[in-house]
């Protein structure tokens, strides 16, 4: 028993180390993506602005050459860094899943009792994974919503400024048109994909699953004074009910507004 416990502890330590490496890899990956998109866009915008506002007699040809070389080198370097970070995150996730499967197998061999089947044990161990998946998806949709919403806000302000400045220089009118198109596209994406609603539904489901996990572990609320087999059955039923409700919410978001069923009051005789 002591040997098995030490093995589980060493596996937990390995999982913690991999989770730390994955978190660090994701952070660097985000920086690389920001560099690959916003950084290179800023460099390209600088090159375009230089061609528009700098006199061609001031050595603009050499500036364009070095600017294009720097832009190409930055684009290649940022793509390589992003791809390597992505590969490291995937590799770390695979190793973590392997360790978690090994730990679950060891714990199942020790803790499975006549009143609780091994199938339920593996199901119970997978429930935190459901919760974490919902939370990660909620964070993903929340970040997308914030990105497009920020694009709409900043783009609207810049469009107004560009429209005002277009009275003096014609280039600002084209900039205003481009910014207006970006704002319209971003607003349309927000309205169609409903990132905020998806994030809210996923976060609510994750929080509800977390409450059920805590209630079952502490034997409180609906699990108070229940035999182990009945508590296990009730726990599994409640988790599956929450997951089924989440699937229904996702299907409702996929339907257009005109496809939603409209309830009409019954006609009175």
DSSP of 72-88: HHHHHHHHHHHHHHHHH
Tokens for 39?
Answer: 């950084």
Tell me the HSE value of 227 on the side-chain side, using a 13 A CA sphere: 6
Average pLDDT over every residue of 232-243: 94
Beta bridge partners of 113: 116
Residues 250, 244: Cα–Cα separation, whole Å: 10
Query: Average pLDDT over the chain, rounded to whole?
Result: 83
- Chain segment 154-198, per-residue pLDDT in tens: 888 888 877 876 666 666 677 788 888 889 999 999 999 999 999
User: Which pTM does this prediction carry?
Assistant: 0.67
**Spatial CA neighbour of 148 closest among 93, 187, 180:** 187
Instruction: List the single range of 109-113, 138-142, 228-232 with lowest mean pLDDT.
Output: 109-113
Choose between 58 and 236: higher pLDDT.
Answer: 236
Residue range 21-26: mean pLDDT, rounded = 90
pLDDT at position 268: 44
The region of weakest confidence among 53-67, 72-86, 166-180 is 53-67
121-140: average pLDDT:
88
Phi, psi of 56 (to 5 degrees): -65, -20
Q: How large is the average pLDDT for residues 83-90?
A: 92
What does the alpha-carbon distance between residue 153 and residue 182 come to, in Å, rounded to a whole number? 11
Q: How far is CA 238 from the centre of its chain?
A: 26
Residue 171: the pLDDT is 67
Q: What are the two backbone dihedrals, phi and then psi, of residue 116, each rounded to the nearest 5 degrees?
A: -130, 120
**106 close to 8: Cβ distance less than 8 angstroms:** yes
- Tell me 263's DSSP state: P
């Amino acid at each position: 028993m002591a040997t098995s416990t030490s093995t589980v502890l060493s596996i937990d330590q390995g999982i913690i180390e991999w989770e730390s490496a994955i978190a660090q890899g994701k952070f660097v990956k985000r920086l690389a993506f920001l560099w690959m998109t916003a950084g290179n866009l800023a460099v390209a915008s600088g090159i375009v602005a230089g061609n528009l506002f700098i006199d061609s007699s001031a050595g603009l040809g050499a500036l364009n050459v070095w600017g294009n070389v720097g832009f190409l080198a930055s684009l290649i370097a940022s793509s390589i860094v992003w791809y390597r970070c992505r590969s490291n995150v995937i590799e770390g996730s695979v190793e973590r899943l392997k360790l978690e499967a090994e730990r679950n197998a060891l714990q199942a061999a020790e803790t499975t009792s006549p009143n609780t089947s091994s199938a339920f044990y593996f199901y119970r161990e997978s429930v935190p994974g459901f919760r974490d998946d919902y939370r990660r998806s909620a964070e993903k949709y929340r970040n997308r919503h914030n990105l497009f919403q920020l694009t709409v806000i900043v783009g609207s302000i810049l469009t107004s400024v560009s429209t005002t400045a277009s009275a003096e220089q014609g280039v600002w009118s084209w900039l205003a048109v481009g910014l207006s198109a970006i704002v319209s596209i971003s607003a349309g994406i927000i309205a169609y994909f409903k990132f905020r609603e998806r994030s809210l539904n996923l976060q609510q489901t994750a929080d509800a699953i977390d409450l059920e996990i805590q209630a079952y572990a502490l034997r409180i609320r609906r699990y108070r004074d229940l035999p182990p087999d009945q508590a296990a059955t009730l726990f599994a039923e409640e988790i599956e009910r929450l997951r089924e409700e989440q699937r229904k919410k996702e299907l409702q978001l996929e339907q257009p507004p005109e496809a939603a069923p409209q309830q009409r009051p019954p006609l009175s005789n």
